[in-house]
Chain A
Amino acid sequence: MGRQISTPHSQLSGLRPWLPAALVVAGVSYWSHTLGQDAESGNLSLSLWLGLLFGAVLQRSRFCFYCISRDFIETRDARGLMGVLAALALGTLGYHLVFGVFLAEPIAPRLPPGAHIGPVSWVLAAGALAFGVGMALAGSCISAQFYRLGEGLLAAPIALLGTSLGFVLGFLCWNSLYLGTVQEAPIVWLPHYLGYGGSVALQLAVLSGLALMLWRWHRVAATPAAAPAAWWRVRWPTYVGGLLVAAIGVGAYLRIAPLGVTAELGSVARTLADKAQLLPTRMEGLDTLRGCATVVKDALWSNNGIFVVALVLGAFGAAASAGDFKWRIPTLPEAARSFGGGLLMGWGAMVALGCTVGTLLSGIMAASLSGWVFALFCGLGLLAGWWLRNAAPRS
């Protein structure tokens, strides 16, 4: 990693560890108050609080898909990946609980409103593969770029710029991919075939199988005994993060929409590219599909925009209070890798209609085959990206 600069924030947290978190909460309370005064804003203030919580949880439990996969690949430490499985298992239960209310009988072709149940085709697989390679190159997926931005990682804005341009590349390919493949691709929702009970049983069985496999390969990492520290300074185990992510995910689905972190980024990219007349006048079928929907923006704040900004703030508050906040300035090769990885992630998230949060987490929790396919190909891409990263000369 590049240079690390200790900042007044971390010094401050040494004296008054609660101060940064308290300042963030106070600021967000005021923001929430101003949002609440606008009658048209709907659930914007709830999105704000959920985003803040999500950011803090990701930061405290280091819920970074690439980092925890690398732990497993390099040191056989499976605890991080087990955290993801915990999120998926609890999320599956929560989502099905909500499904039973939203749609009493899972009879095709009806789908529960809003759930990220997307079309399955080679386009999804290619998008997931590109996303996996991209997240390995950039060092973390899009959601982790956001929370690590809150930790002071200055490579994150570079990766996110790459992601935005990747989205534009995705939009440019979209019409031919849609008309050639996606339009006829099946949308597979397990409860249509198995009912809610069968869908829960199958998902939990698969997740348990994966957990058993991971556990067999798991080697306890020989970590030096850490000096005892206050609870807000130690990292939370990933499974705690996973369970909280599942709870936030189910709550968000119940009240607003499934979790996702790319809708706003993609919408900004689409709006700018549209204004610059780079895009075809019509994105065929795009606005009818489920997933992290990108739209041409007409309002400053959307639910997803607020959610993502609050995510960064939540991660910042948590990091600063725990003494994790450090400006990290990337070296030139790191910056280039972040940008290139971002480009791949953006293209992948666009054609796959979401990322590790919007398609993998929110898709699998919703018992959508698209989520599982994304997980598989994203994992393969991640392996390839990790190998590429190690094959390249170290910076």
Chain B
Amino acid sequence: MKILKQLLSALAALMIVLPALAAPSDFLVTTDWLEKNLNDPKLRLIEVSVNPGVFERGHIPGAWNVQWHTDLVDPVRRDIASQQNFEQLLRKAGVSNDSTVVLYGDTNNWFAAWGAWIFDVYRIKNVKLLDGGRKKWEAENRPMTPIVKADPPGNIKVGSADTSLRARLTDVLAVAEKKSPDALVDIRSADEYSGKVFAPAGVQELAVRAGHIPGAVNVPWGQAVAADGTFKSVEELKKIYGAVGIDGSKPIITYCRIGERSSHTWFALKKLLGYDVRNYDGSWTEYGNAVGVPVVNLAGTVWGGK
């Protein structure tokens, strides 16, 4: 733990010298740091990838596979995994109370960030993201293996869910109806925000209305990342979100289509900038289907029933 802290502070010092490299943070680790610390017995590495079959063909040595569509959710009703199931999952992954968990995944850590949000909801400490995720690790030709290392089960105790990290339909409706001063950040593409499309290209349309929640500002998630997939520096992030009035002066709610990509922005605002942020995991598939709620549809697209 001591070595870890020393390394982290050394890393932080390095980041101050080279501010363009990455955001200095207790919640991010670099690919370089991870490769040097792979054999740390306190480290538990967990991959949460969007695409099935990616982990099995090759992952960072020592990583454990978590499937977002069965492990992190309740597969029957729409909700995150229950406290009991989540504890079971983490123990199986070898996570103990004194572990440091590093999460990473494909497609810019979308679902790894979603995992980080669930870890936070269940009050688990020492959870970090691998900055740049799988993409950067692969691009740097670092070692991968298809072989799964079975760790002895961990002893983590998962606390009750922290509801203050999660926004519900009533919370965002209050913002839409100007009954709450919170700020809404819609992290979807400009075309989804304006209502030109119901869902991104290649994704099934799951909402019967297009557009966005009244009062939301649009900052597509990708604006928070640099070309190599890492998060932009704190200064840059502050500038990007500050430009649309998201400066941390009031509580923030992030949303997207199904609540996963918005976790990426949630992570940037909450963990890297330290703002008060909730993730609305119901997102547009809930709001865009809710009856009687106000919607802004700039494009005027009409749903045709197909």
Contacts and interface: CB of A to CB of B under 8 A. Distances in A.
A113 B148 contact: no
Interface string A95-115: 000000111100000001110
A395 interface: no
Interface in A86-101: 101
B56 A113 contact: yes
B56 A102 contact: yes
Residue with the greatest number of chain A CB neighbours at <10 A, chosen from B148, B150, B201: B148
A101 B53 contact: no
A104 B150 contact: yes
B52 interface: yes
Contacts of B150: 104
Given A113-B52, A113-B56, A102 B202 contact: no
A102 B58 CA distance: 9
A281 B306 contact: yes
Contacts of A74: none
Interface in B54-92: 56-57
B146 A102 contact: yes
Contacts of B56: 101-103, 112-113
A216 interface: no
B147 A101 contact: yes
A112 B55 CA distance: 11
A101 B201 CA distance: 34
B306 A113 contact: no
Given A281-B306, A298-B202, A114 B147 contact: no
Contact of A113 (B53, B147, B201, B202): B53
B306 A101 contact: no
Nearest to A296: B202
A255 interface: yes
A300 to B, nearest CB: 16
Interface string A264-295: 00000000000000000100000000000000
Contacts of B306: 281
Contact of A254 (B52, B57, B148, B202): B57
Among B57, B146, B147, the most chain A Cβ lie within 10 Å of the Cβ of B57
Interface in B126-174: 146-148, 150
A101 B146 CA distance: 6
Contacts of B52: 113
Contacts, number: 22
A254 B146 CA distance: 9
B205 to A, nearest CB: 11
Interface in A298-333: 298
A112 B53 CA distance: 8
Nearest to A257: B53
A226 B85 CA distance: 69
Contacts of A102: 56-57, 146
Contacts of B146: 101-102, 254
Given A113-B53, A114-B53, A255-B57, A101 B148 contact: yes
B69 to A, nearest CB: 12
Nearest to A114: B53
Contacts of A112: 56
A204 B56 CA distance: 26
Contacts of A113: 52-53, 56-57
B198 to A, nearest CB: 14
B226 to A, nearest CB: 16
A102 B56 CA distance: 5
A72 to B, nearest CB: 37
Interface in B220-265: none
A104 B148 contact: yes
A262 to B, nearest CB: 20
Contacts of A254: 57, 146
B48 to A, nearest CB: 15
A112 B65 CA distance: 13
A255 B306 CA distance: 38
Nearest to B55: A113
A254 B56 CA distance: 9
Interface in A36-83: none
Contacts of B57: 102, 113, 254-255
A254 B150 CA distance: 21
Nearest to A43: B57
Contacts of A104: 148, 150
Interface in B3-32: none
A46 to B, nearest CB: 12
Contacts of B147: 101
Nearest to B202: A298
A304 B170 CA distance: 48
22 contacts: A101-B56, A101-B146, A101-B147, A101-B148, A102-B56, A102-B57, A102-B146, A103-B56, A104-B148, A104-B150, A112-B56, A113-B52, A113-B53, A113-B56, A113-B57, A114-B53, A254-B57, A254-B146, A255-B57, A281-B306, A298-B201, A298-B202
Given A102-B146, A114-B53, A298-B202, 10 more contacts: A101-B146, A101-B147, A102-B57, A103-B56, A104-B150, A112-B56, A113-B52, A113-B53, A254-B146, A281-B306
Interface of B: 52-53, 56-57, 146-148, 150, 201-202, 306
Question: Ordered nearest first, which 4 A-B pairs have the shortest CB separation?
Answer: A113-B53, A102-B56, A113-B56, A101-B146
